[in-house]
Structures are given as C-alpha cells and as structure tokens.
Chain A
C-alpha cells in the first residue's frame, strides 16, 4: 500500500513540476531539480533533439535532427562539461539508438538510468542505488507529459524569437525613418518633425528656440578630387564631432550633402550669447584637421540661424531663413555665423528679379561683345579679348563685376557663356572675311567654372567652331588661375585636348591664385596673363615689378607667352618691356570696343 502510495505521490509531484515555465530550459530545469531531490540522484542530465541550426526541435530523422546535451545538475564535472564525459556520452548514444529505457552499472558502483522523452530528447539519471523497476515504469507517463511540455516550450521559444526579431526589425526601420544612413544623425524629415514640436512647445510654454544651418566651405572640391569615399569619411567624422554637442536641448541632423542643422530648444534670456558660444564650439570642432587615409584636410563652415517663434513659427520658413542667413555668412566669409534678417530675403528677391532681367536681356539681345585689342611691342595687334557688356533697361550700363557673380550663382552663366562662345565665333567669321593684319592671331573668350565642369564642354566649343566654319586657331579660351586649380586634373586633360584641336588656352589673372608650380608646369596653356594688380604703377612698386619679373621668367621657362593686362601708361609699358614682357592689353593701347569699331581698328 505504502509503495503504491509512494509511486502515485512521486508521479503527482513530478507531473506537477512540468510546465511551470514556458522557456524550455527553465521548464526542464524545474523538472530536473524535483527529480534530483525526490529520487536522491547524484547527477541528472537532459539531451534534446536539435535541428541542423542547433535549435531544439521535434525528432525528425529525415531532416537531420540529432540529440545535443542541454542541461545537467550539477552543471559541470571537474571543470568540464558533462558532454565531455565519455561514460555519459556513450550511454546517451546507446539510449538514443535503443529508443527505450536502459540502465548501466559503472565501475565505481554508480548506476546510470536512461529514459526517452518521446520525440524530444533523452533523460539520464546517475544514482548510488538501483532504481526500482516499478519506479522506472511509473516515470513513463510523466515523460509523455514532459514531451508535450517540450513541444509547447519549443513553439513558445520560436514565437519569442520571432517577436524579438520582429521588434529588432521594427526598431531598425524606426531608426532608419528618423536617421541619416551615413552619419546616423537625425535626417531632414525628423529634424523637421522635432522642429515642429519645438515650435509648438515654444508657443505653449513661452520659450525661445533657434535653427542653425551649417554648410561646409569648399567641401565639393575635396569630394570631386578625392572621391566620395573620402568625402563620406569626412562627413562621418564631422557628424561624430557635432554629435558631442547634442543634449536634452540640442538636436543635430544632416540636412543633406555637406549641410547640417542644429535645433536649439528652451533658450534662456541670454540666448544670443548661448548661440554665439555654440557657433564658437562648432568652429572649434572643425579646427582639428580631418585625417583620412593618411591625408589631412582642413575645413571651415558657414553658419546661419533663425529664431522661433520670434522670426517665424513655421518649419519651412525657419529652415529657409537659416539657409538664407548661412549663404549670407558664406558670402561674408565669416565664421561667426549670421542671424537671419528680413533684408536678406529682400536682397534675394532683388537678386532673383535681376536674374530675370538678365534672362530677358539675353533673349532681347541686350548683351553685346566688346573687344579689347592685344598688342606686341612693335605696336601690332596680335589678338583681342572678348568682353561682355550689358545695357540694363532701367539701370543702364551694368558692370560685369556686378552681374557675372550673380549669373554664376544661377545656371544662367551657362546660357550667357554659350552666347558669348557663339557670338565670338560669329565675329571671328566676320573678321575672317576682312583682310586681317598678319600679326593678328586670335580672339580670346572668358570661361566660367560652371562651363568648365560641363562634361561635354569640349564638344560644345568644337561644335561652335565647326558651325561657324572658322579656323579653330582663331579662338582661345581664358581660364582664371583659381578655376584651374579647383579642377586641376580635369583642366589639364581638357586644355591638352583643346590644344590638339588647335584651340589655345590662356591663364588669366595669373599671380593671384597662389597655384603650385608643380601644377603649373603640367598645364599645357600657351599664355600667362599678368594680373592688372601687378601692372598698375609697376614703375613705382618694386614688389609688383619683382612679381611681374618672376612671372615673366616662369613663362619663359615653361615656354608660355606672357601678356600683361591693364597697361595704362607709357611708364608701365616701358617697365614691362624692360622686364622682358612684350605682349600687352590695356587702355594705353585701346579700351574695349564694339565689334564694328574693333574691326575698323584692325584695318
């Protein structure tokens, strides 16, 4: 009676220990602990069937499931996992192949008893006594229940894993929706969203905030010359540096390209001071060189900012205003940042209207080409520089120093440049039909940066020459030293290629660009033009004379012709001649003339 009662109570206690936890390991551990205590075990072990990826699964021999050691009490034996115990491992192998309960007496007198957890694993007990047959049989229904619980736990575990991986993906998607892929700073959309909330908060709680717009200066040449990989590394480094400024009240985002935004919330009464300090900190972060792949890059930035709700309460306006202020800071070449002012918008409006005027002027033929003759030291005309002139319908004669930079900011410069090229070719054609003096060589036109970076620029030039049926040698291009240096590799290729097609190039404003001599000797230009700043009063300025002398020597060394611009007096001319310069351009000889007058001058 007592034996029967014992078996029933044993079954009851073990059965009640099953399924108390959902996690497979925790569930099996509770069961194993009760077995351990109730059956007075020396050690207890569970092996479970696992799929090919090592995850616990139902026994499916055709799908390659195999049993693996899963859990033991005690955990290890003499510093080693039980899975390394050969007696136990051999016993488990026998148990698995037998697929029924087996037992074994070890040499040390201990016993091993093995049981099958149907379709899910193996259970092994080590005892100091022989486990009675009726106890072994009493365990069978318990093992069936344990198998059912294993199934539940495995399903639960896989659900938990699925939910977890889904949560990870959702987290990743949520992160990606708010962050920039390269820098992992907030992206434009999220900064806009944060700004919208900050504006609302500022209204509700009577607070002040600011949006800062940060743009790197001269980042594009690095990106173009060194490639986007280097550019991206610089942006990433900068993002890390800027991120050090983020706080509860400062959010940082990448607006796009090399532009970053900062959102300052909850500014106190001395907000101007806070903003100034932040701008100083940003400049400080940029002060350290960016070392990428053993090269070191120095960068600066331009910063503009707008205040909310003081200057606007809409996201679009605030971003726009900060952007406008940033451009003003860039124009002013200041690192101290600029706060948006209404006059900046008005200036932009005026500028846009001015661009419209230029467009109209171009369509209505208000632009003209004047030609300033170039002379040799015998006083013969050797060529001319085509100079653009515009008669504004309201303002009258406009200075190229005003409208060319504005045209360069918009794509209008391309249309203007195209017109200049075509008009110059047409004028050359006309000149060709006159009897030109033998000394006359060519007409030079000025080329802007935007024209030069057009991928088909050479084709455009050669087309114009071909369509107007003029000899290519009559056309020359003038490129400023700064322009060449910015696009040095492409410029060298282009100039060489044009030279092969008989079109010469001159380096304009030489002496102002501090270009490296290494570069200079690689540029296959034909003419060096001494900038007018070194020519004016050359007789009185020993410094100007020294620079001009150096340029002249350099030209000779590099086998280039030297032409001095801006010659206005006999004294200047004589001085230049003394220094060895024999080609000139300037009011001393002739000012820029309309084509017809220039044609007459030639004759």
Chain B
C-alpha cells in the first residue's frame, strides 16, 4: 500500500511551471499536498499567497535552500507530493512576541488546549522558520507540556543569507516567524546521523547566553576556537572567511551516553562564537572534525538502521532533512550521501530538503534541535 499517490518536481524556477505542477497535483485525487520550493526561485510572494488560498486541498511545506529527490539534488525548482489522507496541520506564529518563558508556556498550553493535547496524534513533521529566535525553548516547552510522547522529524526553512523572510506554506499563504506541525496518519520512524568526531580535549563553557558562547575555559571563545584549530591544522583564520574554516570544525556537546549534539559556529563577533543552537553555560564542549567518508558512512548506517525496521507491508514515504552545511562541507561529493540513502530505500517516494537546523527525538524521547546532521524519516 502506497502512502502517497502523486509526486511532481521541476528544475525550473519559473512560477508558471510551479502553477502547472500545483494544478496537476490538485487534479491528482490527492487530499493533502506537501509543497517544497527552493529559495533560489524567488517566486513572487503575493502570487504564492493567492495560489495557496485558492487551493482546495490541505497544503503545507516551505521554502528551503535546496531539495532532494531520490539521489538527486535540486538547487532550483519545486517538489510537490500528494497524499491520500487529509493531514491535520497546526500553524503557530508570532514567536517574536513571546519574549519570556512564561509567555511561551502560556502560548503552548493554550494551543495544546485548543488542539485537545493532540490526543491520538503521536507522529509529526515540523516545518519552521529557521530564524525563529527561541526554537529550542519552543521544543523543550512543547515536550514538557505534551502529555504523551511523540515521534517527530523536521527542519528549519529559509535562506542561506540568514535574513528572515516568509518561508512556511499553508493554505492561508506564506508565513515567517512560524512553526508548522503536521500530524501524520501513520507511525513515523526516524534515524539520525552526523559523522562528526571529537578531536581535542573538551572545553568548559564558562560564559554563554543562548546561542552565543562568550568564553571557553574562561578565555574569549573565538580566540580559543581559532588557536586550537590553528595549532592542530594548517588553517589560518587571518586571511580566510570564518565560516569557510568553521564549517569543518563544529562544536559538540556530549551527553552521558557519549552521543554528540553538534552545534555549528556560524559567526564570530566581538570575540564570541555565534552558534546555530543553544550551548548551555557550564557544559563541556568538544571541537569536532569529520570527512566526507565519515559523514557518508554515518548516513549509510542510519539509513540501514531505519529501513531495516520498517514494516514491509507498507510502502513507506521517506523524507530526509539534511543539513545544508553538510552539502557545503561535502561540496561536489554531497550526492554520495543522497545515493547511499537511495541505495537502501527500496520502495516508495524518497525526497527531502536541505535544512537550516534539524529536529528529531533523542534516544530518551525528548525533542532535540540538531546541527550539521541528517534526519531520515519514514512513515
């Protein structure tokens, strides 16, 4: 039994092609549409709003830096998947107004009350604006207040220039500063990988606030980071763009079971390191290193683990949330990663997005924000 009945994609960045695709999807007999587009397309927002408003089917998705289909990378164009079922979609927005923990807690409890605690809904995809300022607080708070465990996979939408724009799709239009929770009709299985390994002794995070690490081992974080890399490698920060080097050396927080949560340093400012996810004060962080082989190998392991445990009677849909920085790191060899997944995925649609931050459950069941990682999800 197939879970989806329509797959359409285009490599063209013109709106007219997209309109054609959407029109075909609407006539495919599908009840719900997952619509994914590339940020390079620059579709006029007003036109997208009118198209989505006029769509009679349940519609959800977003704008991502790039898309994937089977083993191919789509740098421009769009992808539409039609499903037989009507999915329950919940849009949460205006996070910039939730400035305190109390506000966020009230907002989430009232949403959960409205949605009857998502009673009977245990499996979700999460599409969100990657530049929401308090995404980790949101997922922590959601986990704390949901009265049942959920399986979840998701990825941050938006553009590589890190300017906040409208990037989340629903029937009411294109939204920014928003999170979309899509309840799936079947069990969601996920597998997570990153392939990064620690290469030095850990550092104490002596000062930090949210995503900004101010000091490591009581020294300015940026200086410690640069010196450690320069001492151990041939890289020199003086003459090079920070991110060109930093994309090779993320930070990692090790948990008690030696699992590493990767944090991508994306910016250096005032001797501080700005990461794409919170780094707790007083925690220990490691400098990580990796290579294409280690990254691809970990992805393959995750794919094997996932596909081997799937129910053989259902032809599952598989969606991949792969971090854009892995593609930037692997450059031309990135499709190796996509191919190893495709090799092990023997049935159903396989597609995905290159995301800015990934969402998945940890082994304990808690929801985690990941960086530089891949989340393979099947339902």
**A→B interface (CB under 8 Å):** 5-6, 9-10, 12-13, 16-17, 33-34, 36-42, 73-80, 127-129, 131, 135
Contacts and interface: CB of A to CB of B under 8 A. Distances in A.
Nearest to A73: B144
Nearest to B259: A40
B27 interface: no
Contact of A76 (B147, B255, B284): B147
A115 to B, nearest CB: 15
Q: Which of B204, B256, B363 has the most CB of A within 10 A?
A: B256
B140 to A, nearest CB: 7
Given A12-B204, A13-B282, A41 B364 contact: yes
A129 B365 CA distance: 12
Given A12-B204, A13-B282, A128-B364, A74 B257 contact: no
Interface in B184-211: 201-202, 204
Closest 10 CB pairs of A and B: A76-B147, A16-B282, A9-B284, A13-B282, A42-B364, A40-B255, A40-B364, A79-B147, A74-B144, A39-B256
A79 B365 CA distance: 18
Interface residues of B, number: 27
Given A9-B204, A12-B282, A34-B280, A40 B257 contact: yes
A127 B148 CA distance: 16
B364 A127 contact: yes
A77 B148 contact: yes
Nearest to A42: B364
B241 to A, nearest CB: 32
Q: Which of B201, B202, B283, B364 has the most CB of A within 10 A?
A: B364
B364 to A, nearest CB: 5
B117 interface: yes
Contact of A135 (B140, B256, B281, B366): B256
Contacts of B201: 5
Q: Per DSSP, are chain A's interface residues mostly helix, strand or loop, or mixed?
A: mixed
A127 B255 CA distance: 13
A75 B144 contact: yes
Contacts of A128: 363-365
Contacts of B119: 79
B141 to A, nearest CB: 10
Contacts of A127: 364
Contacts of A135: 256
A16 B281 contact: yes
A313 B119 CA distance: 72
A6 to B, nearest CB: 7
B143 interface: yes
Contacts of B255: 37-40
Given A38-B256, A40-B259, A9 B147 contact: no
B251 to A, nearest CB: 15
11 contacts: A5-B202, A6-B254, A6-B284, A12-B282, A17-B282, A38-B256, A40-B257, A74-B145, A74-B147, A77-B147, A128-B363
Q: Per DSSP, are chain B's interface residues mostly helix, strand or loop, or mixed?
A: loop
Contact of A42 (B145, B259, B365): B365
B283 A38 contact: yes
A80 B117 CA distance: 12
Contacts of A131: 256
Contacts of B204: 9, 12
B277 to A, nearest CB: 12
Interface string B221-265: 000000000000000000000000000000000111101000000
Contacts of A36: 366
A74 B364 contact: no
A9 B283 contact: yes
Contacts of A33: 140
B146 interface: yes
B21 interface: no
Contacts of A17: 282
Nearest to B204: A9
A40 B254 CA distance: 10
Given A37-B280, A74-B143, A131-B256, 20 more contacts: A5-B202, A6-B254, A6-B256, A6-B284, A9-B204, A13-B284, A16-B281, A16-B282, A17-B282, A34-B280, A36-B366, A37-B366, A38-B283, A74-B144, A76-B147, A79-B117, A79-B147, A128-B363, A128-B365, A129-B257
B362 interface: yes
Interface in B353-371: 362-366
A131 B257 CA distance: 9
A88 B235 CA distance: 53
Nearest to B105: A75
Nearest to A13: B282
A75 B145 contact: yes
A40 B256 contact: yes
Contacts of B280: 13, 34, 37
Contacts of B254: 6
A74 B119 CA distance: 16
Nearest to A127: B364
Nearest to A12: B282
A5 B283 CA distance: 12
Contact of A40 (B117, B146, B362): B362
Interface string B337-379: 0000000000000000000000000111110000000000000
Contacts of A79: 117, 119, 147-148
Given A5-B284, A9-B283, A75 B147 contact: yes
Contacts of B117: 79
Q: Which of A9, A16, A17, A128 has the most CB of B within 10 A?
A: A9
Nearest to A126: B364
Contacts of A10: 256
A112 B119 CA distance: 26
B283 A78 contact: no
Contacts of B284: 5-6, 9, 13
Nearest to A26: B101
Contacts of B282: 12-13, 16-17
Contacts of A77: 147-148
A39 B140 CA distance: 15
B148 A78 contact: yes
A122 B201 CA distance: 35
Given A9-B202, A9-B284, A38-B256, A78 B147 contact: yes
Contacts of B365: 42, 128
A74 B143 CA distance: 6
Interface string B129-162: 0000000000010011111100000000000000
A310 B280 CA distance: 71
Nearest to A16: B282
A135 B280 CA distance: 20
A36 B326 CA distance: 29
A80 B140 CA distance: 19
A77 B143 CA distance: 11
Contacts of B146: 74
Contacts of A16: 281-282
Contacts of B140: 33
A41 B144 CA distance: 12
A243 to B, nearest CB: 34
A16 B204 CA distance: 12
Q: Which of A13, A33, A39, A129 has the most CB of B within 10 A?
A: A13
B297 to A, nearest CB: 23
Interface string B279-300: 0111110000000000000000
Contacts of B144: 73-75
A33 B144 CA distance: 10
A36 B119 CA distance: 25
Contacts of B366: 36-37, 40-42
A162 to B, nearest CB: 24
